Structure 1
Amino acid sequence: MRGPGQGHVRETNAAEEAGVVICGAGVAGLAAACALGRQGVDVLLLEKQRKQPPVAKGEVLQPGSLDLLHRWGVLPALEARRAVRLERLVARRADGSELLTMDFGALDGERPWMLSLDYATILECLEESLGAVVRRRRGVLVNDLVRDGGGRVVGLRVTEGGKEREIRAGVVLAADGRSSRLRRLSGMTADPVAYDHRLLSFELEGKPPVDDEVSAYVTDRGLVMVYPLPDERIRVYVQVAADELRKADQARLQQWCDELLADVPALAPLATALKGGLDSRQLLPVFQFRAPSLVRPGIALIGEAAHGVHPLAAQGMNTAIADAAAFASRLAAVDLTDPAAADAALRAYEGERLGSVKAIHTMSHNAARMMTSTSRGGRMLGRRLLTGTSRSPRLRHLTTYNMSGLGMRPLTALDRLVQLGLLPERRARPVGGAG
């Protein structure tokens, strides 16, 4: 018996039931529903938004995510939407010259590349691949958790169609984002910390200076990222201070754009598009956090309900997809009507993911510090670390592997000294591995 609902809604006065109730239909929730549904688990997916709002986020899928999406049958749909294949992640100077190239073709994965698509398109493809055993509904607001006499979470109280009712679950999965209501209701914590800058996002027409990579320009003014989107569009992120363009009129915006182009000569091919696209900009806050625990009896956190990283390394959405795979694998053979067995599976999920999430969080934060510092000392240190990594084939390969989502082998203190040029490089290991 896989779960209490077994794929149908009881037409009685009793509460609706499901094996797993997932709250949140972003990438984390949809990926978990997709993975669980393919294993035959009875899933009910709930989302409070009736329609997905447009947002510039989660557009680059790493090789490790592509392997999982292939396994779940989602990858063909993504490729059919004209996804752009990106071969490299390259840190560049403001003039466009290379500081560090992470070439995914050097890895042993089956799909040594990234794909870029609109976030909404990724959600659509995941939803199309959910399968018949997954029920999903929008416009459902979670009011509270339902607990049994021992305090275990056994369901939700929701408002749907203007009516309050109860939904019972073998397990509740919170995929409701950074400000997760379910995380708070369950007693789990996370303290999002804002970076001292924001990212100004543009969507432009045309092709970027290099059209098969994510280009991360490390400049005196901070980070500028550029990569192609489907249908000859370009995503540009520009680091700005929190109040840099507050109340800026059109003249100030044009002046700001001229200053950006002067500071980052590599953007010259985009000058006309940038000036024409100023009114379409989005200002995005940037946070980092990770919850110290991922589960309580009957409930688990996934994706941005559990962790958040700087978007520079494109790890947020990809870590959420890996969360979904780990969660589904732990629940695959579990009788969800047995609370003890379900909670043991949740603890195993937490044990598997906490260390991985910590390593990814540390890597992403270190990368952000290297590439976003605007102080003279911070810029010098960041560029020294980048060039030190580039000089070492072993460290370059290891860094590429860590960025790929195929696994994580954090750099050691000795590796940092090699990056800084304070220790000679150790004898290289075989290139076929992770470093």
Structure 2
Amino acid sequence: MTTANRVYIARLAGVAVFDPNGDHIGRVRDAVARLRATNRPPQVVGLVAEMPMRRRIFLPITRVTSIDSGAVVLGTGTLNLRRFEKRTSELLVLEDLLDRRVTIDQLDRPGTVVDVAMERSRRGEWSLIRLAVREQTGRLSRRGHLHQLDWDRVRGLLGPSETQGTANLLAVLDTMRPADLANALQDLPDRRRDEVAAALDDERLADVLQELPEHDQVEILAAVGRERAADVLEQMDPDDAADLLAELPHPEQQVLLDLMEPDEADPVRQLLKYSPGTAGSVMTSEPVILTPDTTVAEALARIREPQLSPAVAAQVFVARPPMATPTGTYLGMVHFQRLLREPPAEILGGVVDNDIDPLQPTTPLPEITRRMATYDMVAMPVVDATNRLVGAVTVDDVLDHSLPRDWRDRDAPLRAVPGTTAGRA
């Protein structure tokens, strides 16, 4: 594999990183450049890679033996797993430069940075030599001309920017999973994080909020305003919305619940009534619920719906009408593997499993964990005193509430990994 002499960094974002043995390490998320005392273009000193478990680390550019739009390959050496932290003399190319409003020197016209290229000199040194800048024409009917410019032909690249947009950074982040995008937001300064979050549509922002630590959720919700916050809460799973609202003062909870549509707010209000650490507080109130006369074919079609998470789609719960929680009498559940083994015309009432006692809303989390492990369950039903289904606890609900509260936080301590160094030089 060869290394290109010019690489546009926005196109490099998300590219896989491999060690010399061909093992996948992570993905490129940004490039780190060191500012120089003169007007020379900043020197690229390394890449920021995201590893499994969402930890971002620094990869010295001297360790990179091959780099192109398809893969980044590292040479031999010790991998430093300390979480990356930007130094005062450094800039992150995508975070700090993308969408920055600048002035095109030769035209004395405003523009927006849409990409930055690093080039390798004959001595092997990488620098930020070229920029792609879209001229701002002021015309809504067409986009401005895209200029390829040397670093020293653009003014306003360094220093604070109060008018930095989000469009091009969002384009880079758009392909990320919600958990990875949440991780990327934690790396941004608070103001930039809030700008990017506000630019996401309601559904995407809801998915991302569910993957963020509680303090980031609360801060972003406050930044977007109450009306928008209520819209986003409506897009969240009721249990996640309830968890987020539980972090707010009671008066603020009520304001946001009142702004939500009643049919979206009602299940969230119900979940907020349960004591923390119980089945009622961690369950989802919207599992897949079907009547006993539903056919196996219809049940399989229902769990194929793409908006369902794997844990929720792993089984269907069978109950008498009404089908919204709290339902009529709970009859049992059918795992998707059982559905695959039965004739399509068979009805659920004939294949339902009811030999495992359901949970009660007051069942404590340790007991839920023990029972799910005992019976190898992906989800367990929760019923009230009259045997009506009120929700289901899934394995991801249990994990979320069993891990330390700070497990999503980027500042949580990293456990030691043999054969790694403690920090970057």
Fold shared, TM-score > 0.5 on shorter chain = no
Please tell me whether Structure 1 or Structure 2 has the larger radius of gyration of its CA atoms: 2
Identify the structure with bigger relative contact order (alpha carbons < 8 Å, sequence gap 6+): 1
More strand by share: 1
TM range, normalised to the smaller chain? under 0.3
TM-score (norm 1): 0.18
What is the TM-score with the length of structure 2 in the denominator? 0.19
